[in-house]
Structure 1
């Protein structure tokens, strides 16, 4: 009898070890944060074959290995990642926004995801750089959306009399996930189990959609944005050879994602003049035409620090040559934020002349 009991216990232990890890989140209306949290966890080996349970039943939640966005607990030691409790105030390091379940999972597992993607250890310096950058550029907006934090202070906007010129149509990741939820008048199976399966299926679509965007960002920042950093640093260090004040930045081979890196370098500078124009070839070949692009006042702004001269805007080819007094002109955009010339010398001449107009 004792032997049988031992065998039963041994069998139960084996089942526990071989059973898939369970991830739980809440049932009902789903949101972008838990949709992404589940996707991020499943990128890691420990969760790749995990079972998803969507419930609000405390007893069932207690049986699950990892719980996100439900349960009223934040305890990494027991894999509980909820943010709805009254006392919760946790933020990402050096950021002000209260975390959602997406931010919590990313804060604890993001470095492992990035290191896995890069094929390096979590302690590698590039992992921390990417970890911080993806939070600021992608995850933080989801945290703010789920916690009802506006991008701008509503009271300050009202006091300043600032109103929207048009509707954005809700084209955000949070709004996109919201549209994937069942409509109020969609047919629902009468069997509660079948109804839950239908709802869970829609959640998995939302999770995959959020994951697709996250994975694109992860791929961009690891394979494109990070390698561009050294190129921008070199161009920034060489800028004085084109303008004594360093207001012209030149990329010799080809253009790279430069805005983030430029703003970071300028922020670290000691009162140096800001870069106004960036020159780069349209293609990485000797006979390529060159572009002159105005630096925006901020990364997402349409306003340039110094637009190209108004008299040049909207003109092309010989007419542009005549007006600007510079040969080889290709075009200047009507909004004045970008232009082109057939040669590097022509593009440089346009930049130098535009500095003083």
Structure 2
């Protein structure tokens, strides 16, 4: 299904239409994805209208018109009976999700190809075609669940938590999120670009200018997320895999993961590797050097979006620093403790040996 619509594009005289009036994050991002990431739309013009006659003359229509038909390049989700979701997900799509579902794989593919070109230019090893295809598929899904889905849910009025489960009691304990909300409200980011009720410039031209600014703003967030996933998150996978494979070197039960040279985004990859291994062993502490060449001991969160650690550093250590912490560590053979955070989720030491000793001692308590 993905990119099916992209195959039908003409390259001349393209007009993208969306509705005028109060605008939202989903159509703002949909327009950005098309105009900035799909080459055939690079010179497209934008028309904001609800006039059916004008919409009928437009090449592509998003978030208005009451029709979802990829063959006709119509991407609305407001019509009665619309229930389309992204493959494998339960959240009903908005115009952002619809455009991403059909064009997103191509967007990700082009970004991955750019990464491969950089690797070739630097004489680095390049993945084979099968691996690249698997990477694109993984990133296509991850960018949806980590970014786009929150917009779909926001525009369709879907709560991150099931209201029925919340009403059932237990203070929300054990209730899982329906989707990742991205840590901030993307809808509000765009919403602030709409005119205030008492602003003087309420004409269509001024409204269109505000929409373009909003589209560029949420597009910047999308671009940054895409760049991070392709150029930061994906290359980190091999480093995490190597560290995961060597974890028995530091603890026979594999509870300590060490990055010898530098840290990298490790949480997602660690959870995936643990699920794939499925041996019941969980990493509790991750050691890595910081920019000042000191060492950190970080606790692994109980879940991706959780502030709760699988095993926090001991309560008696928390909030202490330097010499006072060395004393609390009970005559550590390697002095040089730096700190333990007050919540116990991270600590520091001036040396690797000291950080490793700190982690091993914490395992015993």
Please report the TM-score for the alignment, with normalisation by the length of structure 1. 0.87
- Indicate the residue corresponding to 2:257 in structure 1: 249
SS in 1 for 2:338: strand
Greater relative contact order structure (CA < 8 Å, 6+ sep): 2
Label 1:302 to 1:18 Cα distance change in 2 as closer, same or farther (>3 A): closer
Paired residue for 1:158, among 141, 144, 167? 167
Mapping of residues 328-347 of structure 1, within 5 Å: 328-347=336-355
- Indicate the residue corresponding to 2:7 in structure 1: none
- Indicate the residue corresponding to 2:308 in structure 1: 303
Paired residue for 1:86, among 66, 80, 83? 80
Mapping of residues 200-239 of structure 1, within 5 Å: 200-239=208-247
**Is the aligned partner of 1:313 residue 2:318?**
yes
SS in 2 for 1:278: strand
- Indicate the residue corresponding to 2:151 in structure 1: 142
State the distance in 2 between where 1:211 and 1:50 align: 16
**Is the aligned partner of 1:352 residue 2:355?**
no
State the distance in 2 between where 1:143 and 1:105 align: 11
State the distance in 2 between where 1:184 and 1:239 align: 59
Paired residue for 1:101, among 95, 98, 120? 95
The one-character-per-residue Cα deviations of 1:15-35 (angstroms, maximum 9, x if unpaired) are xx8853100011111100000
**Is the aligned partner of 1:74 residue 2:68?**
yes
State the Cα distance separating 1:117 from its structure 2 match.
Answer: 2.0
State the distance in 1 between where 2:309 and 2:170 align: 24
State the distance in 1 between where 2:11 and 2:186 align: 36
Question: For structure 2, which runs of at least 5 residues remain unmatched after alignment?
Answer: 1-9, 115-128, 173-182
Aligned length: 327
- Indicate the residue corresponding to 2:297 in structure 1: 292
Paired residue for 1:39, among 12, 16, 32? 32
Label 1:132 to 1:171 Cα distance change in 2 as closer, same or farther (>3 A): closer
**Is the aligned partner of 1:267 residue 2:278?**
no
Whether the 8 Å CA contact 2:322–2:337 is kept in 1: the answer is yes
Q: CA RMSD in A?
A: 1.9
